[in-house]
């Protein structure tokens, strides 16, 4: 009985010392790992596949293309599709729900522009 307690105590001590050694070595391992990862060339998937999102800012004057991009519809979309897209986007970006007032204004401007050009 006493020998098993001694063996268990020695086992816990070995685990403790090994854990401490691993924790002390961790910073050097992570820095070496970061150096290795920096040397691996990255694959730019956006240039190959194209980006899912439009990366430009807003134009000074709203255009049909920009209005369609904001609403996520084609420039030739019908009024029903424009109305549905506007509702869907406004539910996600409404200022009362924590959205940006500026974005809400641009979404409304895009809807108005698409409605008037039909």
- In a 3-state reduction of DSSP, which class is residue 59? coil
What are the backbone angles phi and psi of residue 79, rounded to the nearest 5°? Answer: -65, -35
* Token pair belonging to 117: 């050009």
pLDDT digits (tens, 9 = 90+) for 23-65: 787 777 677 777 777 777 765 555 555 556 666 778 888 899 9
Contact between 70 and 117 (Cβ < 8 Å): no
| Higher per-residue confidence, 111 vs 17 | 111
The span from the CA of 22 to the CA of 76, in Å, is: 62
Q: pTM to 2 decimals?
A: 0.54
Count, in order, helices (H) and strands (E) of the chain.
5, 0
Q: Hey, what are 56's tokens?
A: 């430009």
Higher pLDDT, 116 or 38: 116
**Structure-block tokens of residue 26:** 């961790």
Query: For position 101, what pLDDT does the model report?
Result: 93
Per-residue pLDDT, 5: 84
Question: Which CATH number applies to 56-116?
Answer: 1.10.287.110
Summarize pLDDT for 70-110 with one digit per residue, the tens: 999 999 999 999 999 999 999 999 999 999 999 999 999 99
Residue 78: predicted pLDDT? 92
């Amino acid at each position: 009985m006493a020998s098993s307690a001694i063996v268990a105590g020695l086992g816990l001590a070995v685990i403790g010392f090994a854990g401490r050694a691993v924790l002390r070595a961790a910073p050097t391992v992570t820095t070496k790992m970061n150096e290795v990862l920096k040397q691996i060339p990255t694959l730019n998937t956006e240039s190959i596949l194209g980006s899912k999102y439009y990366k430009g800012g807003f134009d000074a004057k709203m255009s049909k293309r920009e209005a369609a991009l904001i609403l996520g519809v084609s420039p030739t979309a019908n009024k029903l599709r424009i109305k549905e897209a506007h509702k869907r986007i406004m539910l996600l970006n409404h200022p009362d729900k924590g959205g940006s007032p500026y974005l809400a204004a641009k979404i409304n401007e895009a809807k108005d522009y698409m409605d008037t050009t039909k």
